[in-house]
Structure 1
Amino acid sequence: MNIYFSDFFNIDPGVLEGYGAFNISLINDLPLFIDPFLLFGSEKEEYQKLHDSILKYIAFLKSKSEAENINKAKIKSWYKFSEVKQNWFGYSKVGNSGSGLGMKFGKAFSQNIEALFDDLGKETITESSHLEKATLFEIGVGKDNISDFTTNLIKEFLLEYTQNFALANLNDNQTEKLKIERVYFDYQLERWMPKTFTLPFIFGDYILLTPKDILTKDENWINNHDLKGDFSRVCNSIPNDQLRSEVVNYFKKELPKPKKGRTNTSKEVSEAIHATIRKYPDLIDYYIAHKEEQGEMAKSISEKKVELVKSAFIDNVKEIVSLLQEETNFYEIPPISSYDEALNRIKYLKHVIENNDGYKLFYIDGKPIKRESDLQVIYRLTWFASDFDVNREPNNGRGPVDYAISKGAGDKTLIEFKLAKNTKLKQNLAKQVEVYKKANATNKSIKVILYFDGKELKRVQKIINDLSLGGKENIILIDAGRKPSASNVTLFEN
């Protein structure tokens, strides 16, 4: 069963581990991305040079912004990048193709670059400038933009890293010599240039490998969430007493006076924080300086996050695929209708989860998964061996459905995976699928709801009863709660 790079290229996973590369899935993107802070904070000179090269490119963009009007053509040439989908990481909803960096990002970044990096090369509060700084201001630049930008700016390194592995470990029939566009920036010609590499090649495209020690999950080390959470400490770190007092007073004035008996909402606090930052932008640098001081922690936390992703999306998935092969006909269902195949496979999956320790798949570091997006990726990784066209989250006009299983235009089944704790579950059951049916021109749909304890089960059952949906074969509840060992069950029964 081929899911990961090591499977498709017949390589021992230990070889990848020894090289330091993450064993990516070639079925669907995994929720990891490159954090530029890990380049800055690394002891490896090669990584530090990569961070310097990112700042060099920002300096070029800043100098151009100061000296001339940046028109659409220059934004397209210097700021707009396709997603580097060949690394199989990120936020894409179908396979490994994301949106990349478009004109919206280019305009937002180019219009704000002078203010964002006004002290570039002459920092006094921080050790260095950081690309992630752009996400700390409300200018329309998000963490996914930083991920895509970073990957494109170090693309040459990733290509060389992958080529070295391919030449040492792969056969000639597993690679292709290819001319890759937009690999490095020529500062004399002021344009991105191509270069030729020998790379792993499959499915009509090349593959990129990435070192594990520059990857993280969820958030960059420098991020907006932490800035808000650490705001009091950031304010208290200002060495100038008068400035510190002014900042605190301004923040308090920006907070609306709460009504009697309640405190300020998180939205109100967030708006007050951003208003204060706009008034006193140096607060960003004090926050970043604190993050720089904790650089060693960034490495250890990211390392743990990467291991958790490996555990959830590689080790656990391999285990459940093995169980599905041994205990059911999950991968041997004959070519019947999309609805019957989808329903049968979900029943097999339910059986393995509830009766054959498959529930362990949905626990990360001993805790149940919290995000439906993770649940959907896990499901996608187990459903790869099918004659049917399986698309994750296709958007056909009225919002994304988790999956559309189809065989031709006239045979399509919609599947939605939900966690029982979803606060909008009742609304979703009542309305969403009906809307999706019309948009996708199908009258077949299946709801799969995963619950982890009795409290969640009661909540789901009440919703189903309230909506008169009891007994419907296309609404399937799966118990992913921890199961007692056989010895404990016998003791309890006795």
Structure 2
Amino acid sequence: MKIYFSDFFEINPSIIEDYGAFNISLINDLPLFIDPFLLFGSKKEEYIKLHGGILKYLTFLKQKAELGINEFSQVKSWYLFPEVKQNWFGYSKVGNGGSGLGKKFGEALSSSIHIVFDDLGKEVVTQSSHLEKAGLFEIGVGKDNISDFTTNLIKEYLLEYTEKFAQKFIDAKFLKKVNVSKVYFNYDLERWMPKEFELPVLFGDYVLLTPKDLLTKDDNWINSNDLRGDFDRICGSIPNDQLRHEIFNYFKKSLPAPPKNKKNTQKEISQAVHYTIKKFPEIIKYYVKLKEENKAGAKNISRQKVDQVESIFIHQLSKFVEHLMEDSDFYTISPESSYEGSLKRLLFLKSFIEDNDGYRLFYVDHQPIKREEDLQLIYRLTWFASDLDVNREVNNGRGPVDYAISSGSKDKTLIEFKLASNSKLKQNLAKQVEVYEKANNTKKSIKAILYFDVTEYNKVQKTLKELNLDKAENIILIDAGRKPSASNVK
């Protein structure tokens, strides 16, 4: 059974661990990304150099923007990059494909770079400039853009890092010479240049390894949620008394008068914070300063997040698949149709989770998984060995469905994975899959619902009865609640 880099290239996972890389899944993207702050906060010479390289490129872009970029061809050459899908990180719903950095990102950043990085190379408040600042302004640059841009700007390092590992540890039969586009920037020619590497190749494309200490999950260390959520402390740290007074005064005036004997709502407070930051963008510099002063915190929190992903999607999932192979017929079913096969596999999965300690997969630090995206990815990684074609998050015009399982072009079954705790579960059961069936030209669908306790179970049962679905064979309830040890069962 092959899921991970170590499986496909036939090497011991401990070798990858010792090298400092993440043992990626080569079935589907894992929810991690590179945080550029970890380059800045590192004491490693090569990381410090990479951060400097990013600032050098931003300086080049800013200089060009100040001279005036009149042709989209320039934006295309300097700002637009494909996603570096070969590292197998991100939030792709199917495999490892992503949209990359397109025209919208290029035009947004090129037109605003002189504002976002107004003190680039002449920092007074902060120690350095940071690419992540672009995500703090309302210019249409999100955390995915920051991650994609960072990965492209350090792609040469990742290619060299992988090549060095591959030549030392991977059998030559898995390696090929690959000419990679947009590897490094030639400042004389003002263009991105290609370069050749010897790399591990799978499914007709090369694969990249990434150091674990560059990765994080959810948000960059510098992010807009923290900027707004820590507003009082950030503004309180501003040493200029007059500026601090003006900021707090403007913030108070931005708050609407609440009803008698009541306080402002969180929504009203958040809106006032938003207006204040737009009025006083200097706040961003003091926020970045506070983040810079806690480099150790960035490193520790990112490590915890990476360890969590590793625990769920590698360690626990590997054991889950291994036991599933040994203790069930999950991987040997030969169905007559996609619906029959999908239903049988889900029933096997249900039995394994409920009766064979498979529920352990859905807990991290004794807490149950509460993100449907994680549940859906777990299912994708356990289904990989099927002879059926599994396409995740297929979008045929009316919104994505978790999986479309097909056996030929005329035999398709749609599968929705939901958590019982989902506040929109009833709405989903009543309408969503019916709409998807029409869009995907199929009348066969299965809904799998995971619950963790009696309260969630009762909620689901009530919903199903209200919708007259409590006896439907295509709705599978899976009990992922903790089970008592056999020695404690009387």
Report the TM range for the smaller structure's normalisation. over 0.9
TM-aligned CA deviation for residue 263 of structure 1: 3.9
**1:208 aligned residue:** 208
**2:162 aligned residue:** 162
Q: Secondary structure at the match of 1:478?
A: strand
Q: Secondary structure at the match of 2:336?
A: coil
Q: Does 1:190 align with 2:170?
A: no
Q: Secondary structure at the match of 1:303?
A: helix
Amino acid at match of 1:179: N
Q: Does 1:423 align with 2:414?
A: no
Give the whole-Å Cα distance in 1 for the aligned partners of 2:281 and 2:325: 57
Q: Is the 8 A contact 1:134 1:141 kept in 2?
A: yes
Give the whole-Å Cα distance in 2 for the aligned partners of 1:358 and 1:264: 46
Give the whole-Å Cα distance in 2 for the aligned partners of 1:65 and 1:294: 32
**1:480 aligned residue:** 480
Q: Which runs of 5 or more residues in structure 2 are unaligned?
A: none
Give the whole-Å Cα distance in 2 for the aligned partners of 1:105 and 1:2: 36
Residue-pair matches, total: 490
Q: Is the 8 A contact 2:69 2:75 kept in 1?
A: no
TM-aligned CA deviation for residue 389 of structure 1: 1.1
Alignment of 1:49-60 (within 5 A): 49-60=49-60
Give the whole-Å Cα distance in 1 for the aligned partners of 2:439 and 2:92: 21
Q: Secondary structure at the match of 2:66?
A: helix
| Cα displacement string for residues 224-253 of structure 1 (whole angstroms, at most 9, x for unaligned residues) | 111111111001001111111110111111
**2:77 aligned residue:** 77
Q: Does 1:401 align with 2:401?
A: yes
Change (3 A) 1:260 1:427: farther
**1:345 aligned residue:** 345
**2:296 aligned residue:** 296
Q: Is the 8 A contact 2:5 2:26 kept in 1?
A: yes
Alignment of 1:28-427 (within 5 A): 28-260=28-260, 262-427=262-427
Amino acid at match of 2:62: K
TM-aligned CA deviation for residue 262 of structure 1: 4.9
Q: Secondary structure at the match of 1:401?
A: strand
Amino acid at match of 2:195: K
**2:6 aligned residue:** 6
Give the whole-Å Cα distance in 2 for the aligned partners of 1:473 and 1:12: 43
TM-aligned CA deviation for residue 258 of structure 1: 2.7
Q: Is the 8 A contact 2:33 2:90 kept in 1?
A: yes
| Cα displacement string for residues 396-436 of structure 1 (whole angstroms, at most 9, x for unaligned residues) | 11000000000122100000000111010000000000000
Give the whole-Å Cα distance in 1 for the aligned partners of 2:262 and 2:164: 60
Which stretch of the first structure deviates more once superposed, 88-97 or 61-70?
A: 61-70
| Cα displacement string for residues 194-227 of structure 1 (whole angstroms, at most 9, x for unaligned residues) | 0000000111100000000000011111111111
TM-aligned CA deviation for residue 149 of structure 1: 0.4
TM-aligned CA deviation for residue 335 of structure 1: 4.1
Amino acid at match of 1:177: K
TM-aligned CA deviation for residue 61 of structure 1: 0.5
Q: Is the 8 A contact 1:391 1:404 kept in 2?
A: yes
Q: Is the 8 A contact 2:405 2:415 kept in 1?
A: yes
Q: Is the 8 A contact 1:64 1:70 kept in 2?
A: no
Change (3 A) 1:210 1:70: farther
TM-aligned CA deviation for residue 261 of structure 1: 5.9
Q: Which runs of 5 or more residues in structure 1 are unaligned?
A: none
Give the whole-Å Cα distance in 2 for the aligned partners of 1:337 and 1:324: 22
Q: Is the 8 A contact 1:182 1:192 kept in 2?
A: yes
| Cα displacement string for residues 250-282 of structure 1 (whole angstroms, at most 9, x for unaligned residues) | 111112223346543433322222211111111
Amino acid at match of 2:336: I
**1:25 aligned residue:** 25
Change (3 A) 1:9 1:355: same
Identity of counterpart residues, as a percentage?
A: 67
Give the structure-1-normalised TM-score.
0.98
Q: Secondary structure at the match of 1:394?
A: strand
Q: Secondary structure at the match of 1:177?
A: strand
Amino acid at match of 1:298: A
